[in-house]
Amino acid sequence: MPGKVLMHFAMSLDGFVAGPGHDMSFLAKTTVRDGLHREYIESTGAVLAGRSGFDSAIGDSRPYGGAWQGPIFVLTHHPDDARPAEHVTFLSCPVDEALRIALDAAQGKNVEVFSPTICAQLLRLSLIDEIDVHIAPVLLGDGIRLYDALGGQPLDLRRDGDTPTRTVDLRYRPVRSTLGE
Ligand SMILES: NC(=O)c1ccc[n+]([C@@H]2O[C@H](COP(=O)([O-])OP(=O)(O)OC[C@H]3O[C@@H](n4cnc5c(N)ncnc54)[C@H](OP(=O)(O)O)[C@@H]3O)[C@@H](O)[C@H]2O)c1
């Protein structure tokens, strides 16, 4: 029985998973609830990523601060110039085939897809099972969006355990700078 295919991201309130130039520093200022990372570390069997995410963020680091060790598959059209890294396999194949390879490697655990670009492709193929998002208390204003599908059709979502059409209520206040006061 295969695990789930998760689109799993920390995201700014305005929908960015990275700032300009793949800047992920907004994450350093956030905290998560106790046990959250442990849940994902235990349920994840493989990671599927894109070449930009690998080159800019993964490289020699590993997801969850190195607390998760497992196979990482990186999609690229030119694997020849990729820098080899331990437990990382570069794939140049259709996205659904890459996902099948990752699911096989996950051995019944979940596959986390760490790329908005690849997630959008998988959503179009109805191959994403779940979207897990952790909203960071920040507006980034620019960067890489969780979901971009120019001219795309709306994709209705259902929140776990809730009325299908209910909105989620969040209330934030801007933190005012005290510089110059
Ligand atoms: N906030 C979070 O929780 C979180 C989590 C994970 C990642 N991120 C961030 O998300 C960003 C990822 O950026 P992104 O989605 O724009 O780029 P990306 O998917 O990581 O990389 C795009 C590249 O992946 C390759 N690719 C994608 N689809 C392919 C396909 N079907 N076949 C072959 N190659 C394919 C291509 O590489 P080639 O050009 O080599 O062909 C493409 O240029 C990074 O900044 C990363 O740090 C954030």
Q: Which two tokens stand for residue 66?
A: 């190195």
Beta carbons of 135 and 11 less than 8 angstroms apart: yes
In a domain, 125, yes or no: yes
pLDDT one digit per residue (tens) for the chain, 181 residues: 889 999 999 999 999 999 999 999 999 999 999 999 999 999 999 999 999 999 988 777 889 989 999 999 999 999 999 999 999 999 999 999 999 999 999 999 999 999 999 999 999 999 999 999 999 999 999 999 999 988 888 999 999 888 888 999 999 999 987 665 5
CA–centroid distance, residue 73 to ligand 1 (Å): 11
Number of domain units in the chain: 1
Answer yes or no: is the C-beta of 123 below 6 A from any ligand 1 atom. no
83 part of a folded domain: yes
Q: Which domain holds residue 75?
A: 5-145
The bridge status of strand 144-145 relative to strand 16-18 is antiparallel
Please, which residues have CB within 8 angstroms of residue 40's CB and are 6 or more apart in sequence? 8, 64, 68, 112
Is 0.75 topped by the overall pTM? yes
- Can you give the three-state secondary structure of 63-96, one letter per residue? CHHHCCCCCEEEECCCHHHCCCCCCEEEECCCHH
Tokens in use for 142?
């620019």
* C-beta 89 within 6 A of ligand 1: no
Inter-residue contact 31 to 136 (CB < 8 Å) = no
Q: For residue 167, what is the DSSP state? A: P
CATH classification at residue 125: 3.40.430.10
> Does residue 107 sit within a domain?
yes
Residue 180 lies in a domain: no
